[in-house]
Structure 1
Amino acid sequence: MLNPLILWGSIVVDRILGELPERIHPVVWIGKLIYFLEDIFRSTYSRNKVRDLFFGSLTTLITLTVVFLASYVLEAFISRLPEILQYLLYPFIFSTTIGYKSLLDFSRKPIDCVKEGDIEGARKCLQCIVSRDTSKLDIEHILSASVESLSENITDSIIAPLIYGALFGLPGAFLYRAVNTLDAMIGYRNEKYEYYGKLAARLDDILNIIPSRIAGLLLVITSPLYGGSIKGALYGFFREGSKTPSPNSGYTMATIANSLGIILEKIGYYRLGRGNIDIKKAYDSLKAVDIVVISFLVVYTLLYLFIAN
């Protein structure tokens, strides 16, 4: 298990610095590698299902191999540095696998726009964070989309990287981030990527099974701290957590929706919770992220100390 000081330090670094510039961001490099491999493989054959599956799986496996080797070597290098440098450098590198500050910033912008009466601005902000047509969304669905994205990405952007990093160090965190990036780039169920991204999408589903449920349960336990209801949160987690097309995203979305007494709806796909969504409750969901991250770190620290002793 990774020393909790490194996890706390990573969160602090991310909250202060946010995302690194794209030219030096490791996750951006991972994305460029995926694009590079796709360009190579897709320019050398006539597409069909079997070839798509083969070359897409090859893209995924090569990407994961490169990321593992690079992160393993990097961690080995850091471990040979003086201890004080380890505790300075490791959290900085680890923080690049976390999207804590950026998640809050992107999710807050549409809510702020609605608060200021700028509905068109809110719709434009949403285009960067959700995969739906935002041009005609009303206020309720704008707020809903913001909270949906926020609650779903509690797992992807924060809790899962922390869990895999805590258990397996930098290689664990970076491999998770690589799988998540692969899924975001090629894991779509459409004509182009249905088979090419199948392995990436399935790996992402598998890796998020445990983190998504841990995140959901933490949201249940901490619900009174962000203005929610434990009873509602429990109902959302156990009764509605599986009602989304994704096998994992519903557990945080349904928990927050039912805890805060709001409806989260992606028209034609799912409708979670009950009650009216408003700006205050949307801001409460932002507060929930801070609370659930701190609660995870506290629980992990206590567990680490218990095992160490």
Structure 2
Amino acid sequence: MIIISALGLDFIAGDPANRYHPTAWMGRLIARTATYVKTGRARSERAGGVVIVVVSCGAVLGALSAVYLALNLLLDGLVALVASAAVTAVLLKTTISVRGLEAHARNIVVAIQDDDIATARSRLSMIVKRDTGSLDREHVISGAIESVSENTVDGVTGPLFYFGVLGLPGAFVYRVVNTADSMVGYRTSMFANLGWFAANCDRVLNYAPARITGLVMVLASAMLGMNWRGAYRIMMRDAGKPDSPNAGYPMAAAAGALGVRLEKIGHYSIGDDTVGLSTDGILQAVRLMKITSIIFCGAVTVPLMALLAYLVAGVHV
């Protein structure tokens, strides 16, 4: 019920304003810690990269502990149980962003349909790391589909996977690492040393969720009447093309399901151009992301929780 409630809240309400959003709070904490390191107050930037992740994770876990300690002190019995479940559902919701991804994607679609390529590029730049200033219409569409598919892991299935394995602390630690990677984990001279730890932690944490999500996308594409055989074939063929060892799995599965070729100029080309890129492809990618999220909850997160409960019960027996 917690998982269903969290996903339902996200589908209906979307993300809260930044001043109320834990992920935004994480971002501010990471930014301040990074500034502290960059001003030379740490022994080295590489050591500072470890500090950023450890301090941020520690602060988040401490805050979660304080919330549940307060609930246990103020309430008891069934009331405490219900309140704890409700708080967990709300907090889990803040680690996922189905509605947010959809909103970004639809904003890009509107700009393209209005023939406002400049606005489309600007809106795309909010969800990708590449330079969008000179992209043509097809590459803007490609970037949007890539972002929706890749961020299905970062913004939905990754947190749900670690919630299934480690509960709410797992989901929040995943979000801290993922947020740190998005902020300082770039391969640039400025963050080459500072972001190494966040980038490598993110790479390790995403290894399993990315591959499982790719497979779930194949199943979701079959349920939606898309090309599920193509999704599996392209995922197996092209998942290793991007520099990231993980991002290629959901992107390649989406490319195969939609029958499109996705390209980051100068870096990779994924999929076969059998349908052609259009704004409808972005909307189809959003549909695929939504169904993948629902299936992932039922086929991955819940079984993981059940298995963990069984193992814990066995230890106590």
Distance 1:101 1:268, change over 3 A: same
Amino acid of the structure 1 residue aligned with 2:88: Y
Superposed, 1:278-297 pairs within 5 Å as 278-297=278-297
Distance 1:193 1:234, change over 3 A: same
Count of matched residue positions in the alignment of Structure 1 and Structure 2:
302
**Is structure 2 residue 283 aligned with structure 1 residue 298?**
no
Distance 1:157 1:85, change over 3 A: same
Superposed, 1:256-275 pairs within 5 Å as 256-275=254-273
Superposed, 1:1-309 pairs within 5 Å as 5-44=1-40, 51-78=44-71, 81=75, 82=79, 83-275=81-273, 276-300=276-300, 303=303
2:165–2:305 Cα contact (<8 Å) kept? no
Distance 1:165 1:302, change over 3 A: closer
Q: Which runs of 5+ in 1 are unaligned?
A: none
Fraction of identical pairs, as percent? 33
1:78–1:90 Cα contact (<8 Å) kept? no
1:78–1:89 Cα contact (<8 Å) kept? no
2:228–2:256 Cα contact (<8 Å) kept? no
Deviates more, 1:275-284 or 1:289-298: 275-284
Deviates more, 1:140-149 or 1:110-119: 110-119
Alpha-carbon distance between aligned partners in 2 of 1:303 and 1:54, rounded to the nearest angstrom: 38
Deviates more, 1:236-245 or 1:73-82: 73-82
Q: CA deviation at 1:86?
A: 2.7
1:7–1:166 Cα contact (<8 Å) kept? no
2:145–2:281 Cα contact (<8 Å) kept? no
Query: TM (normalized to structure 2)?
Result: 0.89
1:164–1:173 Cα contact (<8 Å) kept? yes
Q: CA deviation at 1:39?
A: 2.1
Distance 1:122 1:301, change over 3 A: closer
2:164–2:302 Cα contact (<8 Å) kept? no
2:241–2:248 Cα contact (<8 Å) kept? yes
Q: Which runs of 5+ in 2 are unaligned?
A: 311-317
Deviates more, 1:53-62 or 1:247-256: 53-62
1:226–1:284 Cα contact (<8 Å) kept? no
Amino acid of the structure 2 residue aligned with 1:194: A
Alpha-carbon distance between aligned partners in 2 of 1:44 and 1:201, rounded to the nearest angstrom: 21
Alpha-carbon distance between aligned partners in 1 of 2:166 and 2:68, rounded to the nearest angstrom: 11
2:105–2:283 Cα contact (<8 Å) kept? no
CA offsets 1:215-264 (integer angstroms, 9 cap, x no match) = 10001112123342122111122111111111101000011101211011
Distance 1:178 1:301, change over 3 A: closer
Alpha-carbon distance between aligned partners in 1 of 2:15 and 2:306, rounded to the nearest angstrom: 33
Q: CA deviation at 1:75?
A: 3.9
Amino acid of the structure 2 residue aligned with 1:176: Y
Distance 1:200 1:66, change over 3 A: same
Q: CA deviation at 1:78?
A: 4.5
CA offsets 1:159-216 (integer angstroms, 9 cap, x no match) = 0101111221221111000000110111111111111110110000000000001110
Distance 1:16 1:84, change over 3 A: same
Alpha-carbon distance between aligned partners in 2 of 1:178 and 1:52, rounded to the nearest angstrom: 19
Query: TM (normalized to structure 1)?
Result: 0.91
Alpha-carbon distance between aligned partners in 1 of 2:72 and 2:262, rounded to the nearest angstrom: 45
CA offsets 1:100-151 (integer angstroms, 9 cap, x no match) = 1111111221122222333222122112112222232222111101101000
CA offsets 1:8-39 (integer angstroms, 9 cap, x no match) = 11111112221122222211111111122222
Alpha-carbon distance between aligned partners in 2 of 1:191 and 1:91, rounded to the nearest angstrom: 40
1:162–1:173 Cα contact (<8 Å) kept? yes
Alpha-carbon distance between aligned partners in 2 of 1:12 and 1:272, rounded to the nearest angstrom: 32
